[in-house]
Amino acid sequence: MLPEKINQALNEQIAKEAYASAYYLAMASWCEQNGFVGTANFFYRQSDEEREHMMKIFKYVNEAEGKAISPGIEQPEHEFDSYTSLFEKALEHERKVTDSIHQITALATDLKDYRTLNLLRWFVDEQLEEENQMQIILDKLKLIKDDGVGLYMLDSELGQRSETTEANE
């Protein structure tokens, strides 16, 4: 049986993953409107991944005889100052999600909830990867500054990356 506190925390996490999915969708829309077609694909892919994260927790909660709740989703912002600000906001958001995963991990450790800890281990690794990915893009943007050719190349690279990821699945 899933401890009640864990059930509640996981339902909150389900809502956070759903919000992350909606947030990346808003970023994809901004990219498409501003000519960054490759980066739009990248954020569409990110949005799909966040929904997969949500479903992973959702299915687990019911499987562990808890009660998974389909979340209401708050509307994310759609206005962004610049291309770089997308990745700054994405990194900031991923860091918040990481904190929340770590908090649930601490709770599950206290409660000796080994099943949930096993699920969370995957998320701990995933968050490290996601933060790292956004950080690498921000580092590239620092090198590129306002160079148009550099931005064009980064946009193409991000577009290709999402295609290769899909092809590998």
Tell me the C-alpha distance between 109 and 122, whole Å. 15
Does 130 sit near Fe ion (CB under 5 A)? Answer: yes
Tell me the C-alpha distance between 100 and 103, whole Å. 5
End-to-end CA distance of the chain: 33
Residue-by-residue DSSP string for 105-140? HHHHHHTT-HHHHHHHHHHHHHHHHHHHHHHHHHHH
Minimum CB–partner distance for residue 147 and Fe ion (Å): 28
Minimum CB–partner distance for residue 116 and Fe ion (Å): 16
Q: Which residue has the tokens 């860091």?
A: 95
Minimum CB–partner distance for residue 130 and Fe ion (Å): 4
User: Interacting stretch for Fe ion, rule CB under 5 A, among 27-35, 43-51, 60-68, 109-117?
Assistant: 43-51
Binding residue (CB under 5 A) for Fe ion from 53, 57, 104, 137? 53
Tell me the C-alpha distance between 108 and 96, whole Å. 19
* CB nearer Fe ion, residue 31 or residue 151: 31
In the bound state, the residue with its beta carbon closest to Fe ion is 53
Does 113 sit near Fe ion (CB under 5 A)? Answer: no
Contact between 74 and 19 (Cβ < 8 Å): yes
* CB nearer Fe ion, residue 14 or residue 108: 14
Count residues contacting Fe ion (CB under 5 A)?
4
Interface residues with Fe ion (CB under 5 A)?
17, 50, 53, 130
